[in-house]
């Protein structure tokens, strides 16, 4: 295992800059799709377990936009070579939490949609 080239304090500062909201490649793209297709009734920052990116309260529908790396989608085979054990555990915790949240929301009567970052650009709507 290779050592990190940054100190713990530097690595922490770098990781703190990674934001879980407002990501242009996930939430931003889906937001554009909603606006371009006049899809209304969604809310952001809705107080619900799992912090869905978009919630349609009247339809009891939640939408998650998952970054491929952070949520364990291996579409681009992005697997860090440094500190691989740490990242594998981190991603697995996210995957396990995602499953738990889906199960919880479904038991509460919500419809749950999850989109991978790599798939959002390919969404086409026909009504």
Question: What was the pLDDT predicted at 67?
Answer: 85
d(CA 42, CA 46): 9
d(CA 83, CA 19): 21
Hey, what are 104's tokens? 């919880």
d(CA 58, CA 111): 11
* Cβ–Cβ under 8 Å, residues 93 and 1: no
d(CA 58, CA 55): 9
pTM score of the predicted model: 0.75
Which domains does the chain show, CATH number per domain? Answer: 8-120 (3.40.960.10)
Kindly report which listed range (41-45, 68-72, 105-109) carries the lowest average pLDDT score.
68-72
Instruction: Tell me the pLDDT of the chain averaged across its residues.
Output: 84
């Amino acid at each position: 295992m290779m050592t990190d080239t940054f100190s713990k304090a530097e690595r922490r500062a770098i990781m703190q800059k990674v934001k879980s909201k407002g990501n242009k490649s996930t939430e931003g793209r889906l937001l554009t799709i909603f606006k371009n297709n006049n899809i209304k009734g969604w809310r952001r920052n809705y107080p619900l377990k799992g912090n869905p990116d978009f919630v349609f309260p009247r339809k009891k529908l939640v939408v998650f936009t998952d970054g491929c790396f952070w949520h364990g989608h291996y579409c681009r085979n992005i697997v860090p070579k440094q500190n691989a054990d740490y990242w594998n555990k981190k991603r697995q915790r996210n995957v396990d939490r995602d499953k738990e949240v889906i199960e919880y929301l479904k038991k509460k009567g919500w419809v749950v949609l999850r989109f991978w970052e790599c798939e959002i650009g390919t969404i086409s709507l026909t009504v």
